[in-house]
Chain A
């Protein structure tokens, strides 16, 4: 083989492997990262990922080139065919990665229902043409593919130089034009005296009413939830403001019916409200719950994940802990390489099915949970804090608990129900801490969720049999809603349906020392529930009970 031919082959391999890494580059290179991703990042990607990606491209391209050359030299038709199949596979992975880079609008249109038929026809036509070409004139097809890869080889130089440039300028807190600085905290307000209102609002992400209460599987034991239900107002038909965290938490914190949101930067969220109106920076332009609580003289605190609470509300929070979504934060080479492989092989359906849910993502989720729990325990036992919002990343996937063994676990196969058991354990730990600090009977405790269980596939691994049995092909959009007023010892069941968006105002009412009895709370719910649209109400599920028909159960039976 001539040296010119060898150099040409090497260039083809580098170009193709680099294209397969497109998803990786799109997240690591500041100029290519969608601005919406900045909102969820705690900081810029760690340095080692740049080195790993550069080495990954070089090593994989080298290996592909070496194997291809060897197959050609061997003279074996079988090896040559295998090399060609490998080349074709890499080409399709690359094509898939390129598709992912199309602007969001175009991608949505491609995936949208209207376009589905057209795209399917086009895909069939392309597949037919490729099949014909492969069948009749394979050599020509490979020549064309080689030519395309060769033409795109300057792109490899472009991505590599951007990666090296970003690595050289890496200072741990800036990422292109975005700067991730450590958020400050508001100064602590003077502590209020004993007897002052105090609210702890717990949001368990993706906690579902059906799984937790109404159709709980017999082998799932949730003693902390049951105990709380026996001494709190317990709504059976509470619906969240929206079907995802981004919208629901924004609605809760603004107290407004938020219809659409779009992250626009490190601490910027654009929002559109139902019925018109909105803002390009809704956290800045609308008053939020924490600012209102502070204006009323209360120290506010948050421990949560997803929304960058500490960056968003630094002027209103006296204590804050936030765990962002895992975004190339890993510090170990093993994790980095695992992440690269996942991104590389993401489009291959069989690989998706065979691989278990990534242990790496489960470890990151567990780390976030522990971080939030640690901060939450400190907040609930601090009498100076008047309002604490605790937004836990469970029972949201991935699974991080083994309920059979009663331990946190990122190995083996667990389910949504295991994470549900962890949510119960979390509630028990918070209660213990409140009781230990003598604050249990001075605190209004609210437990709810941001959205229902969406039964998403767990990294393509499918649903567990117990999950499938519980789901039974039906989405139940209800979420738990429990409010325990200070000193409350009896359960109160509330059956009419309502939008839990009213919690924003309920918290403010409690901080104003109003709605101190279950009866007042029921009357307030009756009055407020009809004034809010309930966009996720499932028609036909509402019980016959009408407003005012909430009944007080004697003791824990209900």
Chain B
């Protein structure tokens, strides 16, 4: 009995959240004379966002780069290097 009630509540919360979200998503009314923005901040935000995304994804990017390098060198190259390393030792 508890579970369906909990599920219903969760749905209500989601529906309310969605309704609020849609309301808030409507455009702000134009101010009569003052221009709200020049686009410069949007550009700054975009550049900062790209920088932030790169920092956040640095581990993934490192892994990706390593994988690409591995593919380029090829498995034989990798094996030869491994043999050479062993020989040095």
Contacts of B86 in A (CB 8 A): none
Cβ–Cβ contact A34 & B27, under 8 A: no
A interface residues, how many (CB within 8 angstroms): 67
- Contact present for B16 and A85 (CB under 8 Å): yes
Q: Is A543 an interface residue (CB 8 A)?
A: no
Are B21 and A151 in contact, with the CB atoms below 8 A?
Answer: no
Q: Give the shortest distance, in Å, between A164 (CB) and chain B (any CB).
A: 16
Closest A residue by C-beta to B16 = A85
Counting chain A CB atoms within 10 Å of each CB, which of B6, B28, B39 scores highest? B28
Asked if A32 and B41 sit within 8 Å, CB to CB, the answer is yes
List A79-133 residues whose CB lies under 8 Å from chain B.
81-82, 84-85, 88-89, 92-93, 95-104, 106, 111, 123, 127, 130-131
B26 contacts the other chain (CB 8 A): yes
Chain B positions 1-59 with a Cβ under 8 Å from a chain A Cβ = 6, 9-10, 13-14, 16-18, 20-30, 32-42, 44-45, 48-49, 51-53, 55-56
From A40, A93, A152, B48 is in contact (CB under 8 Å) with A152
**Counting chain A CB atoms within 10 Å of each CB, which of B16, B29, B33, B56 scores highest?**
B33
Partner of A325, one of B29, B34, B39: B34
Residues of chain A within 8 A (CB-CB) of B42 are 98, 101-103
Q: By the criterion CB–CB under 8 Å, are B49 and A152 in contact?
A: yes
Cα A165 to Cα B27 with chains together (Å) = 31
Q: Which of A1-56 contact B (CB under 8 A)?
A: 19, 22-23, 25-27, 29, 31-37, 40
- Beta-carbon contact of A111 and B52 below 8 Å: no
A37 contacts which chain B residues (CB < 8 A)? Answer: 34-35
Task: Please count how many residues in chain B sit with their CB below 8 Å of the partner chain's CB atoms.
Answer: 39
Contact B44 A158 (CB under 8 A): yes
Q: Which of A251-259, A346-354, A387-395 contacts B (4 or more CB under 8 A)?
A: A346-354
B22 touches A127 (CB 8 A): yes
Chain B hits for A352, CB < 8 A: 29
Instruction: Tell me, in angstroms, the Cα distance from A32 to B44 when the chains sit together.
Output: 9
Flag if B18 contacts A93 (CB, 8 Å).
no
Chain B neighbourhood of A82, CB < 8 A = 13
- CB of A438 within 8 A of chain B? no
| Chain A: CB-nearest residue to B22 | A127
**Chain A residues, Cβ within 8 Å of B48:** 152, 154-155, 158
Contact B17 A22, beta carbon cutoff 8 Å: no
A287 interface residue per 8 A CB criterion: no
Cβ-based interface call for A63 (8 A): no
A130 with B37, Cβ < 8 A, contacts A19-B45, A135-B14, A147-B56 known: no
Specify which chain A residues have a CB less than 8 angstroms from the CB of B21 in the assembled complex.
88-89, 92, 130
Whole-angstrom distance between the alpha carbons of A77 and B8 in the complex? 13
The contact of B38 among A35, A93, A153, by CB within 8 Å, is A35
Whether A23 lies near B37 (C-beta < 8 A) is yes
Kindly state whether residue A150 has any CB partner on chain B within 8 Å: yes
Q: Complex formed: what's the CA distance from A272 to B28 in Å? A: 29
CB neighbours of B27 from chain A (8 A): 96, 99-100, 111, 347
Q: How far is the CA of A88 from the CA of B25 in the complex (A)?
A: 11
The reply to whether B36 and A100 form a contact with Cβ atoms under 8 Å apart is yes
Taking the closest CB of chain A, its distance from the CB of B59, in whole angstroms, is 14
A102: chain B residues within 8 A (beta carbon):
37, 39, 42
Partner of A26, one of B18, B20, B24, B41: B41
CB contact under 8 A between A152 and B52, given known A100-B28, A347-B24: yes
B33 touches A325 (CB 8 A): yes
Taking CB atoms, residues of chain A closer than 8 Å to B32 are: 456
A327 close to B (CB within 8 Å): yes
Judged by a CB distance under 8 angstroms, whether A134 is at the interface is yes
Do B56 and A150 have beta carbons less than 8 Å apart? yes
B56 touches A32 (CB 8 A): no
Chain A min CB distance to B15 (Å): 9
> How far is it, in angstroms, between the C-alpha of A97 and the C-alpha of B13 when the chains are bound?
25
How far is it, in angstroms, between the C-alpha of A82 and the C-alpha of B29 when the chains are bound? 27
Q: Please tell me which one of the listed residues A101, A106, A111, A148 contacts residue B41 in the complex, with CB atoms under 8 A apart.
A: A101
Q: Which residue of A lies closest to B53 (CB)?
A: A151
Q: In the complex, what distance in Å separates the CA atom of A116 from the CA atom of B31?
A: 20
> A278: CB under 8 A from chain B?
no
Contact of A101 among B13, B25, B39 (CB under 8 A): B39
Given contacts A81-B10, A131-B18, whether A348 and B36 have CB atoms under 8 Å apart is no
Is B24 a contact partner of A348 (Cβ separation < 8 A)? yes
Contacts of A265 in B (CB 8 A): none
- Shortest CB-to-CB span from B21 to chain A, Å, is 5
Asked if A556 is at the interface of the complex by the 8 Å CB criterion, the answer is no
Cross-chain contact A134 with B17 (CB below 8 angstroms): yes
Given contacts A89-B24, A147-B56, contact A36 B35 (CB under 8 A): yes
Asked if A374 is at the interface (CB within 8 A of a chain B CB), the reply is no
- How far apart are the CA atoms of A348 and B27 in the complex, in Å? 9
A49 to chain B, nearest CB (A): 14
4 smallest CB-CB distances across A and B, nearest first, come from A155-B48, A101-B37, A103-B39, A151-B52
Q: Which residues from chain B sit less than 8 Å from chain A, CB to CB? A: 6, 9-10, 13-14, 16-18, 20-30, 32-42, 44-45, 48-49, 51-53, 55-56
List, sorted by A's number, 22 A–B pairs whose CB atoms are closer than 8 Å.
A23-B28, A23-B37, A32-B41, A34-B36, A34-B37, A36-B35, A37-B35, A88-B20, A92-B24, A96-B24, A103-B39, A104-B39, A138-B14, A148-B49, A153-B52, A154-B51, A154-B52, A155-B44, A155-B48, A346-B28, A349-B23, A349-B26
Given A26-B37, A98-B45, A103-B39, 12 more A-B residue pairs with CB atoms under 8 Å apart are A36-B35, A37-B35, A89-B17, A96-B26, A102-B42, A104-B38, A127-B22, A134-B14, A159-B41, A346-B29, A347-B28, A349-B26
